[in-house]
Homo-oligomer: A and B are copies of this chain.
Amino acid sequence: MSKPVEIIDELNLLSEHGVRNTRQRSAILQVLLASDIPLSAERIHEKTKEADADINLSTVYRFVEMLVEKNLATKSFNLEYGRATFELSNPHHRHHLTCTHCGEIVVIRECPLDKLCRALEEDTGFAVIGHRIELFGVCPKCQRELSTEEL
C-alpha cells in the first residue's frame, strides 16, 4: 500500500523540521490524518495495530508530543476519559461537542473564539497564542433514553 499524498506532505513537513521519517511515524500520522476527532495515545496505538504496524506505545507518546512541540498537533485532556488526546492542527481548526453519556461527538465548524482573541490582545497586551474549548452535553438519543428511565 502506497502512502496517501497527505502523509507524504506531512513527512516532508517533518524532514523540513529536521525530523527523521520512520515507519512508525508514518503509521501514526496515517491514523491521525484519518481521524476527525482527537485520539488518546493508546487509541492511536490500537489503530496502528489494526493497520498491522507494530509500534511501541512509548514511541506513540514521544512522537505525538513532538508534533505538539512543533505545533503540528494539538493536545487536550479529556476529563471524562481521563487521558490526554491529540489531533493534527489544521489551519481550520475544529472544536467538539461531546455527549457525556455515549461519547458521540459533534464537530463545531467555526471557531467561536477568533474574534475574542483579537479583542483580548487589544485589552490585555497579551500575545494570545492558543486556546482549547470543550463543550459537553447530552445527545438527542441519550436524552430520549434518559427520559424513559425516569418513568
Contacts and interface: CB of A to CB of B under 8 A. Distances in A.
Interface of A: 75-77, 79, 84, 97, 99-100, 106, 108, 112-113, 116-117, 120-121, 124-140, 143
A93 to B, nearest CB: 14
Contact of A135 (B100, B130, B137): B130
Contact of A120 (B99, B108, B127): B108
A77 B85 CA distance: 12
A16 to B, nearest CB: 22
Tally of this chain's copies: 2
A112 to B, nearest CB: 5
Given A76-B79, A77-B77, A79-B76, A140 B113 contact: no
User: Is chain A's binding surface mostly helix, strand, loop or mixed?
Assistant: strand
Contact of A137 (B77, B100, B112, B128): B128
Contacts of A106: 120, 124, 126
A99 B121 CA distance: 12
Contacts of A77: 77, 79
A117 B84 CA distance: 24
Contacts of A100: 129
A100 B129 CA distance: 9
